[in-house]
Structure 1
Amino acid sequence: MASSMIDSELFKDQYGTEEMRHIFSDQAQIQKWLDTWAALAEAEAAEGIIPKAAAKEIAEKANYQNINMSEVREGFKKTAHPLMPQIRSFAKSLSPEAGGYVHWGATTQDITDTGLVLQLKDAQQLIVKQLQELLTSSLKQAKKYRTLIMAGRTHGQPAVPITLGYKIAIWANEFGNHLDRIKDGQKRYLVGELGGAAGTLASLGDKGLAVQKTFCDLLGLETPTITWHVSRDGFAEFASIISMIAGTIARVANEIINLQRTEIGEIEEGFTMGKVGSSTMPQKRNPMKCENIVSLTRIIQANATLGFSSMMQEHERDMTFWQSDWSYLPQICINLSTAMKMLNDVLNQMIVHKDNIKNNLFETKGLIVSERVMLDLGRYLGRQNAHEVIYENAMKAFEEKKPLLDLLLADKRVTADVDEPTLREMLNPEKYSGASAELVDRVLSKYHAFLK
């Protein structure tokens, strides 16, 4: 058994996607460090700090294939240092002159932090793509079921009618909010790091700030306002956004789990012959994907909390948090990617049982629209008196399992002002969905570009 499900040949696709695993592979991590060294050399050459020929050679040879991984692994054991073995291995692939300028003026954390940010940048691009897919899928379903009346539920009980499209449009809007959060947040966490030993850039003399700016520009990252060696709020914010996306995904998946319950049976995550719900109960059609999604989101949110504890640092640099950054950030991104993929499949394949939706709506025997009757009767009796009248009849209807209409027709306090045809109209749940459809339209309009 693998020590991590992400690395398990058996389970890895249940815990991560191939695309996100590749972004956080050893090869990708080392390549990002090499890209960082190449950008550093080019920026320093532009300011006359190192020879241009050396920078050119460093950039040309900055390829993972030029790293001897066996040598690097042995180097880790001997040096207990996360970067020196790579520096030595990379330098060996260069001429003596160029090799001497690798990592010039930088400190280890400049390279490892910037390399990790470059990986997060790639991860974010995939996350944004998958969020857009979730947004598009939910918008399509919201539009399709814009006017399908169903029971809205609060505290697990029927409340008032809504439309299925309205329910799904809320999911869509939340996915859109996350896209906005990423767009706004990336200027704070997709930031390059180059500060030298204690962050002051002293090793680069009076050219430090210019080198830093060019270095970040070459890598397509924001230039930091000030060194962030011990300021880990950017990673904490990134982890927070990942955790929030996971929260939305969990809520959607859990909602489908509940609506798929036999007692409700309104939505099913999707079924094809061959899908097995139980090894011992052949009849089971369990919401396996949604359950998997919820499990993954719990792992994500638990790991994301490491982003907050890593904010506690000492002095100008501290190594105690590096390994946790390299652990939790890849894990939450990898787990999130597969949860998003699974949910998108669910949204595109879900089965809507319209008959059950209608049956559940009318099964309340009018109780689901007692609010409407109470408000209309309130015009004659006053709101509080009307509430008491409807409350008494509603509780009796619930206890005796009688239609609310029958009890209201027998109550002279009601029939004194409201006739039977009017009561029948008021108790029709399909006539009391408020602005559900119009609210769906607002979401569709806001994100219309994702439906094209």
Structure 2
Amino acid sequence: MASSAVDSVIHGFLFSTDEMREIFSDKSWAQKWLDTEAALAKAQGELGVIPKEKADIINKYADANLLDLASIGEFYKSSITIVPLLKAFKKVLPDNAGEFVHWGATSQDIVDTGLVLLERDAYQVILRDMKECLKHCLTLAKKYRNTAQAGRTHVVHAIPITFGYKAAVWADELGRDIERLEAMKDRVFVGEMAGAVGTLASQPEKGLETQKRMMEILGLNVPTIAWHVARDNQAEFVSTLAICAGTIGRINHEIFSLQHTEILELEEPFFMGKVGSSTMPHKRNPAVLENVLALCRNVRSIAPSIVESMVSENERDWGCFLSEWEAIPRACHMFGAALQKSKYILENLIVYEKHMERNLNAQKGLMMSECVMMHLARKLGRLTAHEIVYKSCMKAYEQEVPLKQILMQTPEVTQAFTEEEVDLMLNPHSYIGLAPEFVDRVVAKWENI
């Protein structure tokens, strides 16, 4: 029976995906260990380190479906090494081939390489879904390239932007995250085959050749030197996920904020039958957004623990590595779920253009203070113009009247501009700057990624 949120038949969909659960299942863990042992045997068989016929048998039977996984778990109670797997594997190997498994290796060679193989599978899903999120953001950026929206700084209205511009900022950040993910591949997806303390003392003749061929078979990079206690690769993997979770979290938090009843410019997807409250039938809560925000927060919280695990004793320290076995899969589970839900939100996002238009005028022209100031500055100087417009804005703010009303009572303004010119300066659609052009730059940069 499941006892964690990830595997729960009730809560599981909140914290993981079927795809990630398959990647990190017990069978998958065992299979990656077997893949590692099989690659080692194949390389050694080709190089004459072990009999080739034994290597062929090892590869033929390297199938987790043939193992008694429960017995591996039982043996683990007395041996946190690869020995429990070796015992289970030996039972299914004919012709005494089990005596040639794990030749010259140490447990951590197999465990570390197996973990890297699992991470690579998870990485491919994460990279795919990050690109999907980017694609959806680019679609939003192009569609709403010219749709004016209130820009906000320090949570209050600033000057106009376009919603396409906001989505383009999301897209550009996602693009950089994708570059980070791709840049770490060569450092993170490195196998391990170095023996007891990393010196390959058990394979002095063909150790390096074995190591190279083994990694070719697995599709991993060859380690320059053993990384048994050098865990920067694992720390980088999770830290990069944390950065990506920061981006996904920020995007979802922006949508969440803009779903406030008083704003309601954006809304997560809705369908009839989606219930927000057991007692308030009217509620259309941002439940999926809240789910993503919680997931991303948890992913980010894992990174410090893996960085902390970099501090290891001498040439081996299981006390640190055990943290990785639990935390790295959990980070992948939760970020996988966050991305799956984010794809759904971004692809089906509800955009209320009429509410964006309404909110542009919520402060009765105050949003356009910079535009007025810059026009007046050309005639009176910037500091003088700022002081005049500042006083006008504060008066309009306190009296809760349109800024135009105060401006038309200000001699410095009426002497410099006609009423029609003031109306043009107060039109938010005339002051979106180069927002559409920035959208075009982002789309051109990332649309073919």
How would you bin the TM-score normalised by the shorter chain? Answer: over 0.9
One-letter amino acid of the counterpart of residue 443, structure 2:
L
Residue in 2 that maps onto 1:35: 35
**Whole-angstrom CA distance in 2 between matches of 1:86 and 1:96:** 18
Give the number of equivalent residue pairs: 449
One-letter amino acid of the counterpart of residue 21, structure 2:
R
**1:93-150: CA deviations, max 9, x gaps?**
2235421110000000000000000000000011111111111111111111111001
2:63 corresponds to 1:68:
no
Residue in 2 that maps onto 1:408: 407
**1:259-282: CA deviations, max 9, x gaps?**
111110111112111111111111
**Whole-angstrom CA distance in 2 between matches of 1:76 and 1:256:** 46
**Whole-angstrom CA distance in 2 between matches of 1:323 and 1:132:** 31
2:420 corresponds to 1:421:
yes
Residue in 1 that maps onto 2:335: 336
1:35-184 aligned at under 5 Å gives the runs: 35-77=35-77, 79-184=78-183
- Please, what TM-score do these two structures have when normalized by structure 2? 0.98
**Whole-angstrom CA distance in 1 between matches of 2:73 and 2:122:** 26
**Whole-angstrom CA distance in 2 between matches of 1:176 and 1:202:** 45
Residue in 2 that maps onto 1:242: 241
Residue in 1 that maps onto 2:361: 362
Residue in 2 that maps onto 1:17: 17
**Whole-angstrom CA distance in 2 between matches of 1:138 and 1:429:** 24
Residue in 1 that maps onto 2:302: 303
**Whole-angstrom CA distance in 1 between matches of 2:113 and 2:98:** 21
**Whole-angstrom CA distance in 2 between matches of 1:299 and 1:203:** 42
> How much does 1:2 deviate?
5.0
Matched residue SS, 2:105: coil
**Whole-angstrom CA distance in 1 between matches of 2:197 and 2:110:** 14
One-letter amino acid of the counterpart of residue 92, structure 2:
S
**Whole-angstrom CA distance in 1 between matches of 2:102 and 2:71:** 19
Residue in 1 that maps onto 2:268: 269
Matched residue SS, 1:106: coil
Matched residue SS, 1:291: helix
**Whole-angstrom CA distance in 1 between matches of 2:195 and 2:151:** 58
> How much does 1:47 deviate?
2.2
Residue in 1 that maps onto 2:255: 256
Q: Give the CA RMSD over aligned residues.
A: 1.2
- Please, what TM-score do these two structures have when normalized by structure 1? 0.97
One-letter amino acid of the counterpart of residue 102, structure 1:
V
One-letter amino acid of the counterpart of residue 336, structure 2:
S
> How much does 1:448 deviate?
2.1
> How much does 1:322 deviate?
2.4
Residue in 1 that maps onto 2:191: 192
Matched residue SS, 2:134: helix
**Whole-angstrom CA distance in 2 between matches of 1:71 and 1:266:** 56
**Whole-angstrom CA distance in 2 between matches of 1:34 and 1:446:** 42
**Whole-angstrom CA distance in 1 between matches of 2:160 and 2:324:** 47
Matched residue SS, 2:159: strand
**Whole-angstrom CA distance in 2 between matches of 1:69 and 1:416:** 87
One-letter amino acid of the counterpart of residue 358, structure 1:
E
One-letter amino acid of the counterpart of residue 405, structure 1:
K
**Whole-angstrom CA distance in 2 between matches of 1:56 and 1:407:** 88
2:236 corresponds to 1:212:
no
> How much does 1:429 deviate?
0.5
Matched residue SS, 2:212: helix
Residue in 2 that maps onto 1:441: 440
Matched residue SS, 2:413: helix
One-letter amino acid of the counterpart of residue 22, structure 2:
H
**Whole-angstrom CA distance in 2 between matches of 1:97 and 1:283:** 70
**Whole-angstrom CA distance in 1 between matches of 2:302 and 2:373:** 48
Displaced runs of 4 or more, over 6 A: none
**Whole-angstrom CA distance in 2 between matches of 1:380 and 1:443:** 36
